[in-house]
Amino acid sequence: MKRAILQVSIKPSQNQQQLTRTFKYVENLYDLSEQQAKKYAEQCNADYVQITDCSFLPDKHPAFQRLKLFEMDQYDQILYLDSDAVLLDNIPNIFELYKDHDFCATMDINWHSDSVYYKGVKKQVCKRYKASESYLPFCSGVMLMSKEWISKAKEIYPKYLYEYDVGGYYDQGVMNSCIIDMGEQYTILPEDWGAWYKKGKYIIHLASVK
């Protein structure tokens, strides 16, 4: 099987829109994540692909550049990793662990929490996505996709491109909408794989770093 690890690494100086991110940019973190992702790609016998400019969707926020994955049909599996994801040494081969799954991702936050705040946020997000209240929105920072899923979603994603330019949803809104459009089914990765605000066993996703 032909596999790839994809990252987007667009620094603020390359695009002023990047400065609107809600968390602090840390240059060394991007460099560290890149080094670890390259090492992991070697361990998994996968290609490492990095996007460093906004040429794919030049009129969109840099986060949308990860949607170039829909053009990477030469791969049987693609793992997308945010550039603020720290990979730990004990990380197993995710491609092999989930080789029979079409789409895998971590939940955005702990939607199973009894917190009134989380329940309110989930209701708001599901309404924005036009999903049922039972849907569990995922984070687009760690996603594993099969070639078959990418092929199907490629026909769907363009109609959502301009629905999520504001409100912090961006590409994550597009990807969730693809899943919702396809029936709201996906494989939820355990928090070990880097859910936001969690200390993952394999990946620490530092999206809230200050």
- Reported pTM: 0.89
Summarize the chain as % helix, strand, coil (round to 5): 40, 20, 45
Q: Is the pLDDT of residue 19 over 50?
A: no
Residues 105-156: pLDDT tens digits? 999 888 888 889 889 999 999 999 999 999 999 999 999 999 999 999 999 9
pLDDT at 102 over 90: yes
Interatomic CA distance for residues 93 and 40, integer angstroms: 8
DSSP states of 110-165: -TT---HHHHHHHHHHHHHHT--TT---EEEEEEEEEHHHHHHHHTTGGGGTTT-S
Digit-coded pLDDT (tens) for 162-180: 888 866 689 999 999 999 9
**Rounded average pLDDT over 42-55:** 95
